[in-house]
Chain A
Amino acid sequence: MNLPQTPLSDERAPAIEAQKLHKCFKDFTALQEVSFEVYPGEIVGLLGPNGAGKTTTLRILAGLLSPTSGKAAICGHDLSHDPQAARSELGFTSGGTGLYLRLTALELLQTFAALYGLEDAEANAAIEDCAGRFDLNDFLSKRVQTLSSGQKQRLNLARCFLHHPKALILDEPTAALDVIASHGLHQQIRRAKSEGCAVLFSTHILSEAETLCDRLVLLLGGRVLDEGTPADLCARHDVPHLTALFLKAAQLLTEQPEPLP
C-alpha cells in the first residue's frame, strides 16, 4: 500500500513508525488514522484514558495484531511484510507480562536469547552483559517464583534488552510497581535512550510522562488528539499542567461522542 510519506522533521529515519493505522474489531472501530513516529534516542509517551486505543496501538506496533489498514514499521521493516526482521529489532514488554515462574532467571534469559536468534556464545555474552546492567547476578540461579517484584521487573526488562533492540515498546510498564522499582525502571529507560534506543511507552501516570518523555502522543477515542513536548501541549491547549489537559480531553470526549474532527 502506498501511503504518502509523512514529512520528517528529523534527518534520521524513525525507529518506530505508525502510519494511518486503522483497526476494527468486528463492528467496533478501535483506531482511526493513528500516525506518529519515534526516532532513535527519543522517549515518546502514549497517553490517553482507558479505551483510547493505547494497548491496541502498541500491540500493532509489536506485531501482535495487524492493522485493518495503514502501516506499522520497526526500523524500516514493515510488520505486515517482514514481521520477523521487524521483531528482531524490537524489545516488548507489558505491565501485565507474567514471567515463567517455574524457570530460573538464567533459564528464562536463555530461552529468550534463543528466541531472538542468539547462538550459545552470543547468548551467554548477552546474558552476562544484561545481568550486570540490571543487577541480576544475585538471583540468576533462583526460580522466578521466589523473586521479589522488583527483581521480577528487572528480569522482565533485561529480557527485552538481550538482543540490543533499536526500539523498545513498553505497555504500562510501571502499572504494578512501587516508587523504588519505578525509579529503577526510569533510569533504565533513560539509559536506553542515551544508547540510541527509541522508546515508546504508554502510561496512566502523568508525572511520569512529564519527567521522562521527550514527546507525548495524546490518544482519544482511537484518534491522535495532539502530539508534542509536554510544555508545548500545555501551552497550546492553554492549561497549566498535563492533568488539566487530560481532564479537558476527557470532557471533550463526553461532549462530543462522535469521532473528533
Chain B
Amino acid sequence: MNRRAFLQFKAIYRKELLEALRDTMSLFFMIGLPLIFYPLIAVLGLLGYNQIADHAQSGTPAKIAVMGEIAPLMKAELEAQFELVPLEPSEDPCAQAQQALQAKTYAAIAAFDQPPCGLKPDAENDPYNNASPDESADERAPLGTLQIWFDGSRESSSEAARLLEEQANAGQRALTAQTLKDHQIDPQWSRPYAQVRVNLATPNRMTAFLLSKILPLVLVLLCALSGYYPAIDMLAGEQERGTLETLCATPCSRFTLLLAKYAAVVTLSLIATLANLLAIALTFAATAAQLPQILQNLSLPIGSLAVSGLLLLPTAFFVSALLMLVAVFARNLKEAQNLATPAFSLCVVPAGFALLPWVSLNAGTALVPGMNITLALQAALLNQLSPLMALEVFAVQALYAFLLVQGASRLFANEEILFGQGLDVKAWLRSLLHPRAQNAPLPPSAGVLLFLLILLLTIYVAPLIPVESEALQLCLAQVIVVLAPALLVLWFYRQPFKDLGFVRPGGRALLGSLITGVGIFGLTAFIATLTFMLFPQATEETAPLQESLNEIVSETPAIATLVVLAILPAVFEEFAFRGVILRAFSSLGFGKAALISSALFALLHLSPYRLLPTFLLALTAAFVFFHTRSLFCAMIIHALQNGLVTLTAYSEALHRLTTTNLYALFGLSTLFYVGIWIVRRSGKPEREETPEI
C-alpha cells in the first residue's frame, strides 16, 4: 500500500469509527447493553436462587403420604425431613395415588408393600425388582417393598421424590445397623468403607470448566452480533443514503475503500466483544460474595480469558468478512438484513454443534468455521489448547477471511452490483448450471470449490472406505477424494484437458526437477526432525501414519508400494492442486496463486505438525510447474519426496539417518537450491501460450 492509499485508508477508517461511535443506538448495543445485561442476569439469577434456597430452608417440609405399614426406624428417618401423612390404601392404590398426586395433595407417596404401579422399572438392580411382593418371604427383603410414587411432570414432586429416596436410603442403613446390632455384629459391617466424595479441581479449573460450557458460544455469538450492524450499515447503509456514490468518485480505489471499512468493522466487533468480556468479569467480581455456596470458591482464570480474548481476533476477521461480502450485494439495509441472517446462521450453527460433548478440536474440526473457534475457546479455557493447534485455527480463520475479503472486493468493484441494476440472480444461477464457454479461464471459485470438495470427502467419505488392505484403501482414497472431484470441477467449468500442463519437459527441466525432488525431501525431513525435537508430542500424532506406512511396506510388494505411496498421490494430487487449484487462482498473479494453493494443500493434510513441510513441498511444485510449464515436473518432485519417505521404511539405518541426523539432512537439502537453480535456467515461462500460468 503506497502512502496515498494509506492516507485514504486512514481517512475512511477514522470516518467509519467516528460515525459508528457517535451513533447512540450502536453505542448502546455495543457497550451499554452488555454493561446492563450481565449484571441484570446475575441479579435475577441470584434472586431466583435465593428464593428457592429460602423456600427450601424456611418453608414447611414437603407433605409425604405413607401407605402401608412403616418400620419405626424408617419412620423416624423420614420424619426428620418431611411431614408424614398416613394414607389408607383403597382397592386400587395406584389410581388413588395418581389422583392424589394430580390434585397436589402430597408432594410424593411412600408406598410400603403395595402392588406394583405404572411401568415396570427396567433397571435390574431396582429395589422393586429384587423384592417383588410375591418374594416378600425372601431373605433378601425381610421387610417388604418400598415404592416411591411421584408426579414426574411436577418439579416439586420430582425433587421431593429425590429427597425421599435419599432419606429412605438413610432409613435402610439405620434398619440394617439395627438388625446387625440385634445379631451382635458390629454395625460397621454394613458399611465396610466410610465413603466420601471430594472434588480436587482447583477453584480456577472449576471456573474454567463452568465457563467452557457456555462462554465460547456466547463469545462467538457476541462477536458475530456486534459485527452485524456495522458491516451492513457501512455498505448497504451508505448505498441507501446515497453517500457511496461520492465516495467512489474520489480517487480512492475500491479495494482500499473496502479494506478500510473492513478494518473498521473488525475493530468495532472487537470493541464490543471486549466490552462484553469486561462486563462478564466485572459482574463476576461484584457478585462473587453473594454466589451460592457451591460457586463460592470459584476464581476467575485470567490467563485463559486472555487467550480467549486473543482467539476472538480471527473470529472478528472471519465474521466481518462474511457479513461484508453479503452486504455488498444489498442495495439497502432491509435487503442486507435479509441476506445477512442466513450468513450469520452459517457461522453460528456450527458453533452450536461444537458444544456437543463428543465434538472435540482436531485437525479436521479446525477447518470448520465457527466450530473451530468455539472449540479452541473451550480448549483455551481448560488450558488444553496446544500452540500449534491455536496457530492452525488462527491460520484457517485468517485464510477464510482473506478469501472472503477478496470475494467482497471483487463484488465491490463490480459496478453492476453497486450502481447498476443489481445482481441478476436468475442469470447467475443459469450461468452456474451452464457454466462459461469453453476455454474461458478457470475462475478462483473453481479452486475454492475443489478445495471444499476434497475437504468434505476427506473428512466424511475417506473413513468409510472398507479397509481390506491399507494399500488398496489408499488407492481408492486417492481416486475418490482427489481425482474424482478434480475431474468433476474440470467438467463443470468446461476446461479442456490438454491445457492443464501435460507437456513433455525438456532435458534441463527434467534434471532440475529430479534434483529438486531429492533436495525437497532433505528439506522437509530436516524440518520434520526439527519439529519432533521441538514438539515431542508430535511423535504421538504422527505415529499412526508411520504405522500404516510400515504395514503397507510389510504386506505389499516393493514396486506396488512405490506405486501406491509415491506415484499415485504425486500424479493425482499434482493434477488437482497444481493442475486445477493453482490455475484457478492464477488470475491473482502467480505469487498469490502459489501461496493460496499451497496453503490449501497443507491444510488438507489435517495436521498442524505437517503444515510447514507440506506447504513447502506444494510451493516448490508450484514454482517448478510455473517455470517448466510441465505438470510432469511437479509430479516428479512430489513422487520423489513421497518415494524417498517410503524408502526410509525399508531400511532402519536410513530411517535413523533421516530422523536424527540434522547435518546430513541439511547437506541433502542444499540439493534443493541446486535443483531450483537448474529449473530456473531451463527456460523462461512463455506467458503468451498459457496466459493464466
Tell yes or no: A235 within 8 A of B by CB: no
CA distance A98 to B12 in the complex (A): 16
A115 touches B415 (CB 8 A): no
* Residue B249 is within 8 A (CB to CB) of chain A in the complex: yes
Residue of B nearest to A145 (CB): B22
Pick the contact of B15: A59, A93, A111, A143 (CB < 8 A). A111
Q: Nearest chain-A residue to B9 (Cβ)?
A: A114
Using CB atoms, name the residue of chain A closest to B246: A97
Assembly CA distance A3 to B97 (angstroms): 99
B250: contacting residue among A59, A66, A112, CB under 8 A: A112
> What's the tally of chain B residues with a CB closer than 8 Å to chain A?
32
Q: Which residues of the other chain, A, contact B4 by a CB distance below 8 angstroms?
A: 117
Interface hit among A100-108, A183-191, A218-226, A237-245: A100-108
The reply on A116 being an interface residue by CB < 8 A is: yes
Smallest Cβ-Cβ distance to A156: which chain B residue: B246
Is B178 an interface residue, CB under 8 A from the partner?
Answer: no
How extensive is the interface on chain A, given as a class? 35 or more
Q: Are A94 and B242 in contact (CB under 8 A)?
A: yes
Contact B15 A103 (CB under 8 A): yes
By the criterion CB–CB under 8 Å, are B249 and A117 in contact? no
- Return chain B residues, CB-CB under 8 Å to A83: 251
Q: Does B419 contact A (CB under 8 A)?
A: yes
Q: Note all chain A residues with C-beta closer than 8 A to B18.
A: 102-103, 107
Assembly CA distance A94 to B242 (angstroms): 9
Give chain B residues whose Cβ lies under 8 Å from the Cβ of A88: 251
**Min CB–CB distance B55 → chain A (angstroms):** 51
Tell me whether B242 and A115 are in contact (CB under 8 A): no
Cα A24 to Cα B11 with chains together (Å): 34
Whether a CB of chain B sits under 8 angstroms from the CB of A50 is no
A25 to B417, CA, bound (A): 11
A116 touching B19 by the CB < 8 A rule? Answer: no
Interface flag for A65 (CB, 8 Å): yes
User: How far does the alpha carbon of A113 sit from the alpha carbon of B12 in the complex, in Å?
Assistant: 11
Q: Which residues of B contact A112 (CB under 8 A)?
A: 11, 250
- A231 contacts B by Cβ under 8 Å: no
Residues of A within 8 A of B14 (CB): 111
The answer to whether B22 touches A102 (Cβ under 8 A) is yes
Smallest CB–CB gap between A198 and chain B, Å? Answer: 16
**Would you give the 0/1 interface string for B242-265, flagging 1 where the beta carbon is closer than 8 Å to chain A?**
110111111111000000000000
Determine the chain B residues whose CB is within 8 A of the CB of A22 once the complex forms: none
Contact A114:B8 (CB < 8 A) given known A25-B421, A103-B15, A107-B18: yes
A20 interface hit (Cβ, 8 Å): no
Q: Does B689 contact A (CB under 8 A)?
A: no
B20's nearest neighbour on chain A, judged by CB, is A102
Q: How many angstroms between the C-alpha atoms of A116 and B249 in the bound complex?
A: 10
Subset of 15 A-B contacts with CB under 8 Å:
A25-B416, A25-B420, A59-B419, A63-B248, A64-B415, A87-B250, A90-B249, A98-B242, A102-B22, A102-B23, A107-B15, A115-B252, A117-B7, A117-B8, A143-B22
- Top 8 A-B pairs ranked by shortest CB distance? A114-B11, A92-B249, A87-B251, A115-B250, A98-B241, A102-B22, A88-B251, A62-B249
**Contacts beyond the supplied A65-B415, A114-B8: 13 A-B pairs with Cβ under 8 Å:** A26-B424, A64-B245, A64-B249, A64-B418, A83-B251, A84-B253, A90-B249, A92-B246, A93-B246, A100-B15, A102-B23, A107-B18, A111-B12
